[in-house]
């Protein structure tokens, strides 16, 4: 990763950075992150919180837009909590791989062996789904059978869009199915499992799949594209696909320790997580140029770096409407970056920012937004 960087100075916008690296960070990285405040302001993002890490150390902080029309009732700090949206999924995938290591679940055994399939219309097809198929989004299921925060969702009928294990089809519904199996095996709810497997080992005290009392003041409100305050967005139940709340510094600990270093995993399980499982053509019936270099592993994506011999980036994005997030990891240089934002425009900065950040023309913006 040629340039992962965050600026530590800013005149017009508020910018905080801490934990000065032990050794100088690549100047090109610092130059790239100097542009971040202007990008945040031009995209009308009320708050963007970030963390960058490398072997040299860590930089973290936040950028707050100058636009004073954004009335945020909560204090805005580096401890502020955001909806992580689909950044929930890699944490859950890591939990599943821990269970694989312990022999509690088999990647290639039907999920139906561990939990019920009552909601599925096609039960024969449902019995073909395995944890590997779920984690790599090859279930053939829609993203959701109904709005996952609705009263109807827990009993809604799940139908297949494509045959199981036939193509990439991004699906929160598949993850929720596997969540039910994990909870049945562990005999505990998702957040209790996650606290034991991830949050406590990696020092993530304010991260949770459930709403916590501290979030009343820590969780920021989100804004739509029209700039309307749409509130904190509380969810009625913990869901491994989208309800995680966290901050950038805590989530970066998971990326660095759990994913990059593989702490808590066997070498075999850690390696397996990073193996390409499927070519991630996002829309099965509509191949696009931006799909050609994107693949899915067990819980997150991979994108080939255009520069020959430079390795791959691993990544995941989050989109809960008014909350946008993204992480990027380059194992070759042991660098990682994560950001959270609280407006529907939060991904508008991706093209210029990722170009500066990496020095590469990565297709992630087109893959995510188009």
How high is the pLDDT of residue 237? 98
Give exposure, 249-275, as e/b (b: 16+ Cβ within 10 Å).
bbbbbbbbbbbbebebbeeebbebbbe
3-state secondary structure (DSSP) of residue 91 = helix
Q: Give burial (CB, 10 Å; 0-12/13-18/19+) of 171.
A: buried
Which of these, 66, 57, 3, lies nearest to 31 by C-alpha position? 3
- Does domain 14-369 bear CATH number 3.40.710.10? yes
What is the structure's pLDDT at 56?
A: 86
Q: What is the DSSP letter of 73?
A: -
Place of tokens 């509690």: 104
Per-residue model confidence as pLDDT tens for the chain (370 residues): 544 433 333 323 334 344 455 566 666 667 777 888 999 999 999 999 999 999 988 888 899 988 778 999 999 999 999 999 999 999 999 999 999 999 999 999 999 999 999 999 999 999 999 999 999 999 999 999 999 999 999 999 999 999 999 999 999 999 999 999 999 999 999 999 999 999 999 999 999 999 999 999 999 999 999 999 999 999 999 999 999 999 999 999 999 999 999 999 999 999 999 999 999 999 988 999 999 999 999 999 999 877 656 679 999 999 999 999 999 999 999 999 999 999 999 999 999 888 888 888 899 999 998 6
In 3D space, the residue among 39, 34, 31 whose CA is nearest the CA of residue 66 turns out to be 39
Beta-bridge mates of residue 329: 314, 336
DSSP SS3 for 312: strand
- Whole-structure pTM value: 0.94
CA–CA gap between residue 30 and residue 59 (Å, rounded): 10
Integer Cα distance of 275 and 68 in angstroms: 46
* Domain ranges (residues) in the chain: 14-369
Give the pLDDT confidence score for residue 214 in this predicted structure: 97
Whole-number pLDDT of residue 16: 39
State the DSSP string of 131-182: HHHHHTT-S---S-SS-TTSSSGGGPPB--SS-TTSS----HHHHHHHHHHH
């Amino acid at each position: 990763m040629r340039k992962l960087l965050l600026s530590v100075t800013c005149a017009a916008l508020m910018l905080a950075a801490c934990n000065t690296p032990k050794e100088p960070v690549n100047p090109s990285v610092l130059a790239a992150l100097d542009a971040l405040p202007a990008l945040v302001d031009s995209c009308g993002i009320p708050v963007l919180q970030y963390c960058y890490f490398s072997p040299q150390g860590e930089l973290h902080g936040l950028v707050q837009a100058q636009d004073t029309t954004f009335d945020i009732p909560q204090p805005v700090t580096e401890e502020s909590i955001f909806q992580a949206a689909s950044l929930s999924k890699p944490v859950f995938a890591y939990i599943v791989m821990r269970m694989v290591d312990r022999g509690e679940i088999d990647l290639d055994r039907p999920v139906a062996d561990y939990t019920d399939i009552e909601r599925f219309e096609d039960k024969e097809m449902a019995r073909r789904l395995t944890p590997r198929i779920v984690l790599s989004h090859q279930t053939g299921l829609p993203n959701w059978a109904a709005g996952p925060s609705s009263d109807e969702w827990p009993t809604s009928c799940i139908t297949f869009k494509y045959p199981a294990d036939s193509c990439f089809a991004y699906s929160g519904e598949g993850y929720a199915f596997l969540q039910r199996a994990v909870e049945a095996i562990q005999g505990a709810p998702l957040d209790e499992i996650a606290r034991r497997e991830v949050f406590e080992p990696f020092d993530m005290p304010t991260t949770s799949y459930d709403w916590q009392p501290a979030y009343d003041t820590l969780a920021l409100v989100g804004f739509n594209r029209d700039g309307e305050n749409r509130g904190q967005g509380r969810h009625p139940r913990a869901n491994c696909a989208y309800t995680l709340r966290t901050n950038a510094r805590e989530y970066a600990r998971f990326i660095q320790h759990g994913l990059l270093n593989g702490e808590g995993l066997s070498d075999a399980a850690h390696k397996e997580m990073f193996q390409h499982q499927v070519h991630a053509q996002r829309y099965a019936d509509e191949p696009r140029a931006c799909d050609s270099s994107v693949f899915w592993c067990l819980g997150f994506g991979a994108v080939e770096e255009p520069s020959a011999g430079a390795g791959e980036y691993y990544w995941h994005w989050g989109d809960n409407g008014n909350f946008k997030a993204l992480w990027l990891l380059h194992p070759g240089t042991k660098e990682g970056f994560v950001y959270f934002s609280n407006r529907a425009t939060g991904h508008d900065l991706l093209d210029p920012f990722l170009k500066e950040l990496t020095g590469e023309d990565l297709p992630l913006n087109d893959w995510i937004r188009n």
